[in-house]
Structures are given as structure tokens and as C-alpha cells.
Amino acid sequence: MTKFEAEFQAFKRNEDTYRAMGVVFLKRTPDSANFLFSVPHIIPQPIAFGVKIDYKNWDAEPPSIQFIDPFSERPLSFNEVKIGFFQKTGVDPFGQPILINLLQQSEPPFICIPGVKEYHDHPAHSGDSWFLHRQQGEGELCTIIEQLYKHSVALAGGYNIQLNFNIVGINPDLNKLVR
């Protein structure tokens, strides 16, 4: 059994638990798996995002997380991920965003936490090698799923609605007709 297969089987054993949290397994390849994250506690239940978690070269390297359209598998830009990811730091009372875009908001975003390839590859984290975390469980599939859940879905409070309306007329109150 490959190391990724062991990770995937650990997820499958607990798939019902994760589905109840809104995490739905979509498909897999020999070294990656796609998931859809919904928000079960908001009615009607929205689909927050999809991810492809790629375990190529696991565990010499941590997994890579790519945000995708869960239906077409098209990679999403930062602007297209409509749910925020926040981490409590004790400094900023509103939490620190951990979904980052490198250049422009039209570029692909990445999750900036230890245990994720994009975090350890970033020059700003060159002092925090993946090998300091490799044996700690942080890149494991179930842990990654729970991190994505805790920092986004679990924090979701409701729909953010923006309305644009046009005044098209004045409604008559026919009760006021003089008879």
C-alpha cells in the first residue's frame, strides 16, 4: 500500500463523520483526491468550495492544495473563492486571513499554514522546513480536511447578500378607492 493510499483509507474509514460536517469526496487519482466543502449549518446549504489535494511525492513533500470548481475541476482564482479562511492569533481580534493570493486577486490562492506545500515552498517560510513537521501529522489527509473545515466552514455564520434594486413604480392601495 502506498503512503497516499494509507491516507485515503484513513479518510474512507471516517467518511460518514466528514460528510456530516459537509465534506464530500468527489474523485481520486493514484496520488490526489478531490473534495467538495459545503456548509450544512446554513439553510439552504451552500457549496463553499472544492479542493484538489495532491499527495505527489508524499511524504518527502507535503500535500499541495488547489482550489477548484467541484463540478468542472477548473482551478479557481482568489476572487472566485467566496468564503473566508481565518486563523485566531491572539493579536488581531478579527483573526488572520490564511487564504492568500500572491500577486493579483485573479491568481490562484493558496492556504498558508504549516503542513501545506505552498506554505513551505514560500520564501517567507524558508526557516520552517517541512521536515520539522513531517512526523507531526500535519500533512495527513484527515488533518488537512479538518484544517480547511475549522478555518472556513466552521466559522460561517450566514449568507452575505448584496442587493441591487430598481424602483419600477408605485404600488396602489386599492382599499383606498372611494366608492
Rounded to an integer, what distance in angstroms lies between the CA atom of residue 16 and that of residue 29? 21
The conformation of residue 46, written as its DSSP 8-state character, comes to P
Which positions from 11 through 40 interact with another protein, judged by CB under 8 A?
A: 11, 13-14, 17-18, 21
Site membership for another protein, residue 134 (CB under 8 A): no
Pick one of 19, 97, 105, 106: the residue that binds another protein (CB under 8 A): 97
Site membership for another protein, residue 48 (CB under 8 A): no
Pick one of 41, 71, 82, 158: the residue that binds another protein (CB under 8 A): 41
Site membership for another protein, residue 45 (CB under 8 A): no
Peptide bond into 62 cis (omega under 30): no
Task: Give the nearer residue to another protein in terms of CB position, either 54 or 138.
Answer: 138
Q: 18: part of which helix (H) or strand (E)?
A: helix 15-20
Candidates 24-32, 72-80, 132-140, 164-172: pick the segment binding another protein (CB under 8 A). Answer: 132-140
Give the E-state strand segments of 42-90 in sequence order. 47-54, 64-68, 86-87
Find the distance separating the first CA and the last CA of the chain, reported in whole Å.
Answer: 86
Q: How far is the CB of 18 from another protein (least distance, A)?
A: 6
Site membership for another protein, residue 143 (CB under 8 A): yes
500577486: which residue's cell? Answer: 103
